Amino acid sequence: MLFGRKKRRITRVLIVEDEPLVAFDTEHFLTAEGFQIVGTLDSVADATAVLAADGDVHLVLVDLKLADGSGIDVARAAGGRGVPVLFVTGSCPTEAKDLAAGCLAKPYPQRDLLLAIRAIEAVLGGDTPKKLPASLALFARAA
């Protein structure tokens, strides 16, 4: 197909967010955009359990502050399984560059979340992202 859309590399997303409204909005928005939500969780323990059990997670969206600890622990678990991570947080941790593909600063419009996922997808595919939202820091780890 000459003008068809590229096939997505990222289709299965794990959301790890302890703010119920943010988690619900993110899940609803990404589902409407055609993503499969592997789970919407609020704890490190639940997220690491899903990552251990499900070998088909394409991206983890994780907040820094969670119900039982830090999103950094989730990022480490995901990285150990080769799953890219996008921190979605108000304050990007300094160690994020070594653990994640990027960091999207809260609050952000939903459009910026979609652009951030597309940017990570582009880098994973060996391409240069076409457009980066101002609230996104994309890290070398994305490649």
Q: Write out the two tokens for 142.
A: 């994305």
Phi, psi of 99 (to 5 degrees): -115, -15
Q: Dmax of the chain from CA atoms?
A: 48
Q: What does the chain come to in residues?
A: 143
Q: What is the pLDDT of residue 10?
A: 93
Q: What is the CATH number of domain 12-142?
A: 3.40.50.2300
Residue at token pair 């003008």: 3
Q: What is the pLDDT of residue 5?
A: 58
Q: What is the pLDDT of residue 76?
A: 95
**What does pLDDT average to over the chain?**
90
Q: pLDDT-derived band of residue 1, with 50, 70 and 90 as boundaries?
A: very low
Answer whether 97's CB lies under 8 Å from 139's CB. yes
